[in-house]
Each structure stands twice: as C-alpha cells, then as structure tokens.
C-alpha cells in the first residue's frame, strides 16, 4: 500500500486532478482500516468530504481529525512528502476505526458485514473505494468528464490493493457502486430479484431489491492472484429512501448465507 499511496499523492499536484473537484489539500484514502489484516472489504464510490470537514465545511482538527492534510503534516505541497509522512498517513488509515470514524455511515454497513463474522472494529474487515480521493461534492454530482478523469487517474487502485491483500469477500454497497465496478472489472455479475428487499412507495411502484453475485480474479486488467467473492445489493443502505430494518436484516442474512457456501 506504500507504493500505491505514493502514486496517489503524486497525482494530487497534477493538472488533471485540479479539474475534478478533489479536495486536494486532503490525503488520498487507500483504505479505511488495516487492509493487511482484513478478510472482508466493503466497497463504495469515493470517500466523503466529511472525512475531512465538519458540517460547516471547516477542516477537522484535533481529536475530530480522521485523515491527514497538508496542514496537519506541516507541508506546503505534496511534493514535500517523505517516507515519514507516508507512514503517518498509512497509520491514520490503519487506525481509522479506533479513532473518530464516521459512524453515522459505517455502523449500518458494519451490521451487514457482521453476517460474515467480520467487523471493521476488530480489524477483520475494512472499507475501500473505487476512487480513493474525497471530492467536495458527492460522486453523483460530478460531471461525466470529472468522473471519467478520476477513473483514468486512479481506476487501477482497487485492483492493486486487493492483489496484495488477504481479502476473499468484497461487498458492494448500492447500485451505483455495482455498475461502476462491473465497468472497471469488465464483468457481468449474476442478478437475482429479492422480494424481501423490496422498498415500498405510496404513489409509485415499489423499488425492487436485487442481489448481485460473482467471482473475480482479474480487475482493471490486473491479475489478483486469487479469486474474490463479490456480493452486492442495489440499495445504498445510507441514502436509499425507505430502507427498513427488515430489509437490512434480510441483506445481512443473504450475505451470511452466501459466504458460508
């Protein structure tokens, strides 16, 4: 992960990144938790801006800080980074769930992950993103050109991280993640409608629950060296309207069943 982080940092001062709405003063986030120990990883689109700023948009500092920034490292630019800085940034990743994790987002996902007998909070699970750069707005609010640029710059990061990890199960949180993953992996995951995952709507048709499953051993043209079970669900647990406790429990039970087989 050391080499991958170095590459990601080198991109931060590039002209290509400057046009993508990336929070350039914030460090890249290759992993939330210690990837070297994780058996299970969840996958999102990219880190939230709330990993770096509070509700007012001010940089998190002191005990509230989650990841390092130019300010916290005492740097004027990323070109000044040395081995000591890299180790400090990686340590922040490893210790993320022991500090001030964004529990409003991660607790619900950890509950689902627990079906695999793993957890973020005991370092047997970690979280990864397709793009390891936080942006000032949500991924879906970026232009097509901005998303395309970020995928060109860092689209192989996930493969490089998984290749060098013990992760055997990857859980995809939400339809946007699933579709983007399939594009990057050049794979079509198996789909199955799940009646117990349906989200009711009063004036519109119910939102159908869909499960996705597959095994990948190559990603972005990079051999992973081992097969990884990929499980996904179309509802984003943190933002899909009307995701009930019953639906979350049903998704957790399905993940538990699939990982036992």
pTM: 0.94
Strands (E), 147-209: 169-173, 190-193
For 14-30, the DSSP string reads: SHHHHTTTB-TTBPP-S
Q: Render pLDDT for 56-78 as a digit per residue (tens, 0 to 9).
A: 999 999 999 999 999 999 999 99
Q: What is the pLDDT of residue 5?
A: 93
Q: Given the DSSP bridges, would you call strands 169-173 and 222-233 parallel, antiparallel or unpaired? A: parallel
Q: What is the pLDDT of residue 177?
A: 94
Q: What is the pLDDT of residue 1?
A: 81
- Between CA 226 and CA 224 the distance in angstroms is 5
Q: Which SS3 state, helix, strand or coil, does residue 258 take?
A: helix
Strands (E), the chain: 40-44, 125-129, 169-173, 190-193, 210-219, 222-233
Closest CA to 153 of 28, 36, 67, 26: 28
Q: What is the pLDDT of residue 256?
A: 96
Phi, psi of 254 (to 5 degrees): -65, -45
Q: Enumerate residue ranges in the chain where pLDDT < 50.
A: none
CA 14 to chain centre: 23
Q: What is the pLDDT of residue 148?
A: 92
Q: What is the pLDDT of residue 240?
A: 63
CATH class (in words) of the domain with range 2-260: alpha beta
Alpha helices, DSSP H only, in 95-174?
Answer: 103-113, 144-154, 157-163
């Amino acid at each position: 992960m050391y080499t991958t982080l170095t590459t990601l940092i080198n991109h931060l001062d590039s002209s290509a990144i400057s046009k993508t709405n990336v929070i350039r003063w914030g460090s890249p986030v290759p992993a939330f938790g210690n990837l070297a120990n994780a058996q299970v990883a969840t996958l999102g689109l990219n880190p939230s801006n709330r990993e770096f700023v509070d509700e007012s948009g001010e940089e998190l500092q002191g005990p509230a800080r989650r990841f390092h920034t130019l300010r916290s490292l005492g740097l004027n630019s990323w070109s000044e980074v040395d081995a000591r800085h890299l180790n400090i940034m990686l340590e922040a990743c490893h210790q993320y769930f022991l500090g001030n994790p964004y529990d409003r987002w991660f607790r619900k996902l950890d509950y689902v992950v627990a079906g695999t007998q793993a957890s973020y909070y005991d370092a047997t699970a970690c979280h990864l993103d397709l793009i390891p750069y936080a942006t000032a707005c949500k991924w879906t609010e970026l232009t097509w050109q901005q998303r395309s640029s970020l995928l060109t710059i860092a689209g192989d990061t996930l493969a490089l991280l998984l290749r060098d990890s013990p992760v055997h199960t990857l859980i995809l949180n939400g339809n946007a993640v699933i579709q983007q993953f399939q594009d990057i992996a050049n794979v079509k995951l198996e789909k199955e409608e799940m009646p117990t995952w349906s989200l009711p709507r009063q004036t519109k048709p119910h939102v159908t629950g869909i499960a996705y499953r597959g095994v990948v051993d190559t990603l972005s043209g990079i051999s992973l060296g081992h097969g990884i079970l990929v499980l996904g669900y179309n509802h984003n647990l943190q933002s899909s309207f009307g995701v009930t406790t019953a639906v979350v429990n049903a998704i957790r039970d399905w993940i538990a069943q699939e990982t036992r087989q």
